[in-house]
Amino acid sequence: MSGSIQLLRNGFVRAVMISTLFSQMGIWIRNFAVLLYVMEVTGGDSFAASMISVAEYAPIFIFSFIGGVFADRWRPKRTMVWCECLSSLSVFIVFVMLEVGTWKIIFLATLCSSILSQFAQPSGMKLFKNHVRDEDAQSCMSLLQTITSVFMVLGPILGTLVYQQFGIEVSILTTSACFLLSAFSLVFVPSDEKQLKNRETNPSSLFREMADGIHFVFVNKLLLQLSICFTLVGLGVGLITPLGIFLVTEQLDLPAEALQWISIPYGLGEIVGGIVIFALAAKIAPQRFLMIGLLVNGVGIILTGMSTVIWLTMMAQFIIALLQPAIFVGNSAMVMQHTDQNFIGRVMGIRTPLMTGAMLLMMSVAGMLKNTLSLTIVYELAGFCFFAGFLIMIPLFRSKGKGEQSVA
């Protein structure tokens, strides 16, 4: 724990974490304010609500890899500052347009922010690669995951509260202010001269750099394994994401309102898991984190699908959420440690749409599979996706386990 806490004395890490905090606040306030506003204006129109998800996810497939390429070309600090500033500006423009124009302009807030995120996120990983030692990468990733986990639980509450108390105009202005504060926090990040030299001496074409990024992932066995593992996790998560309500109504034979009793232990597990992973990040090798997380999540998901009593389902949900951060922290830390800094943006740009695409694909067929097979079988399939990811990583564990830092 002391090693992880020591990392917080690093000015760069503190600046990025504060920026992430403001950014997460802006994202969650925006997401829920937009959702609740659209539902209110349209009278609960399902098509309008679904278009919010389109505005949020579509840019991931269109711009993620492109954003990764430019993250390797541009100065990462400047890119992140400009992206946050432009996100703030776009949201403010939406506020102005709401006062004089149509309510449909609200979709622009989500769309612009999502597009800019595809440039900012890989640049953020580039910054970590340039300013944080490889041995500290896992602690940094765990700290980021802890912030994300906390907002997964508190974000919906925050966004709903701001909208219900102050309305859409104040929600949009607050979102704009959060993005601006995030950009201001990044001003204190040191400049990276090395990145500037790389940019100036490598003026190859955009398509050539895209091809080089794909080639880099495919010839690097470790990165290829991690990418496949990440995709399998996306398949598993996508299968069960739309089906939580059916666990309550069909498997447990309870009213739909009882879904909250499953959500509470999951949210608690997310927060506790993030804190525990952060505390142990300096003591446990990332491949161990990854494999333990995959194995426990696979067992927990299968147990959830088989359970017919609420206490067992709640316990399984807590265990899943407790070890879920280990998967993302371990995977991201290994990518950071084993990727050349000139390719980190493109590698991240490839991985993100792989997992997101796998999730959306399975989410689109999960309901059909449940009706064709059964709820239990779908959860078992999801669990086996995690087991498959575990099996893919076994050679990595054998080859590197002895050379890495192990449990203290």
As a whole number of angstroms, the distance between CA 278 and CA 258 comes to 32
Query: What DSSP line would sit under 155-206, residue for residue?
Result: HHHHHHHHHHHHHHHHHHHHHHHHHHHHHHHHTTSPP-HHHHHHHHH----H
CATH for 1-185+198-203 is 1.20.1250.20
Q: Tokens for 285, please give them.
A: 């090798």
User: What topology is assigned to 204-408 in CATH?
Assistant: Growth Hormone; Chain: A; (1.20.1250)
Domain range summary for the chain, segments of one domain joined by +: 1-185+198-203, 204-408
Distances (CA, A) of 43 to 47, 103, 166, 240: 11, 13, 20, 28
Closest by CA to 207, choosing from 102, 346, 324, 405, is: 346
Contact partners, residue 345, CB within 8 Å, separation at least 6: 67, 68, 69, 70, 71, 72, 76, 122, 123, 125, 126
As a whole number of angstroms, the distance between CA 330 and CA 58 comes to 27
pLDDT of the chain, 408 residues: tens digit per residue: 555 566 667 778 888 889 989 999 998 998 888 888 888 888 777 677 777 777 777 788 788 888 888 888 888 888 888 989 998 888 888 888 777 767 777 777 778 888 888 888 888 888 887 777 777 777 888 888 888 888 888 888 898 899 989 988 899 899 999 999 999 998 888 776 554 455 545 556 777 888 888 888 888 888 898 999 999 999 999 899 888 888 888 888 888 777 778 888 888 898 898 888 888 877 888 888 899 999 999 999 999 999 999 899 999 999 999 998 889 888 888 888 888 878 888 888 888 888 888 888 888 888 889 889 999 999 999 999 999 999 998 887 665 544 444 333
Question: Given this chain, do its domains 1-185+198-203 and 204-408 carry the same CATH topology?
Answer: yes
Distances (CA, A) of 208 to 76, 213, 373: 20, 9, 45
